[in-house]
Amino acid sequence: MADKRDYYEVLGVGKSASDDELKRAYRKLAKQYHPDLHPGDKEAEKRFKEVNEAYGVLSDKEKRSRYDQFGHAGVDPSYGGGGAGSYTTNIDFGDLGDIFGSFFGGGFGGTSRRRSSAIPGEDVSAQVTLSFQEAVFGCQKTVNIRRMEKCDECDGTGAAKGTQAETCPTCKGSGVVRQVSQTMFGAMQTERPCSQCGGTGKIIKEPCKNCSGTGQVRKSRTITVNIPAGVNNGNTLSMRGEGGQGLKGGPNGDLHIGIRVTPHPIFTRREFDIYCDIPITLIQATLGSTIKIPTIDGDYIDYRIPEGTQSHTVITFRGKGVPRLNSRGRGDMLVTLLVEIPKNLNAKQKDILKQFEAETTGRSYEKNRSFWDKVKDLFN
Are residues 57 and 98 in contact, defined by beta-carbon separation less than 8 angstroms? Answer: no
Asked if the model's pLDDT at residue 196 lies above 80, the reply is no
169/79: higher pLDDT: 169
The C-alpha atoms of residue 211 and residue 219 are separated, in whole angstroms, by 12
Per residue, the 3-state secondary structure of 25-66, as one string, reads HHHHHHHHHCHHHCCCCHHHHHHHHHHHHHHHHHCCHHHHHH
pLDDT in tens, 125-159: 999 999 999 999 999 999 999 999 999 888 888 88
pLDDT tens-digit series, residues 251-283: 899 999 999 999 999 999 999 999 999 999 999
DSSP character at residue 351:
H
Residues forming beta bridges with residue 292, ordered by sequence position? 302
pLDDT at 206 (0 to 100): 87
- Which of the pair, 60 or 37, is modelled with greater confidence? 60
Query: At residue 316, does pLDDT exceed 80?
Result: yes
pLDDT class of 366 with cuts at 50, 70, 90: low
- Residue 75, judged by CB atoms within 10 A of its CB (0-12, 13-18, 19+), counts as buried
| pLDDT of 328 | 87
Query: Per-residue b/e over 293-313, b at no fewer than 16 CB within 10 Å?
Result: bebbeeeeeeeebeeebeeee
What is the distance between the alpha carbons of residues 285 and 337, in angstroms, rounded to a whole number? 9
Question: Bigger pLDDT: 315 or 212?
Answer: 315
pLDDT band, residue 100 (cuts 50/70/90): very low
- Nearest CA to 48 among 76, 71, 28? 28
Q: What average pLDDT does this structure show over 277-291?
A: 92
* CB-CB contact of 307 with 339 (8 Å): no
SS3 209: coil
Query: Out of 3-12, 186-195, 321-330, which region has the weakest mean confidence (pLDDT)?
Result: 186-195
Q: Which residue has the higher pLDDT, 171 or 99?
A: 171
Question: Between these two residues, 42 and 188, which has the higher pLDDT value?
Answer: 42
By DSSP bridging, strand 333-340 and strand 273-281 are parallel
Task: Report the distance separating Cα 181 and Cα 179, nearest Å.
Answer: 7
Q: What pLDDT does residue 106 have?
A: 44
Residue 50, CB half-sphere, CA atoms under 13 Å: how many? 19
Q: Name the pTM for this structure.
A: 0.59
* Torsion sign (Cα): 137, 140, 145, 147: positive
Which residues, in sequence order, are CB contacts of 238 under 8 Å at separation 6+? 254, 255, 256, 257
Distance CA 97, CA 247 (A): 27
Q: What average pLDDT does this structure show over 170-188?
A: 72
Query: Which of 149-153, 159-163, 195-199, 311-315 has maximum average pLDDT?
Result: 311-315
For residue 112, the 8-state DSSP code is B
Whether residue 181 contacts residue 261, with contact meaning beta carbons closer than 8 Å, is answered with no
What SS3 state is found at 374? helix
Average model confidence (pLDDT) across the chain: 81
Say which amino acid occupies 356. F
pLDDT of residue 89: 31
Res 204 pLDDT > 70:
yes
In this predicted structure, the answer to whether residue 312 has a pLDDT above a threshold of 90 is yes
Helix (H, G, I), strand (E, B) or coil at 78: coil
Residue 267's Cα: distance from chain center in Å?
27
Q: For residue 53, is pLDDT > 60?
A: yes
In one-letter notation, the amino acid at residue 67 is: Y
As a whole number of angstroms, the distance between CA 380 and CA 353 comes to 33
Q: Which helix (H) or strand (E) holds 268?
A: strand 267-270
pLDDT at residue 94, as a whole number: 35
Distance of CA 204 to the CA centre of its chain: 39
Write the pLDDT tens digit of every residue in 208-231.
Answer: 889 888 888 999 999 999 999 999
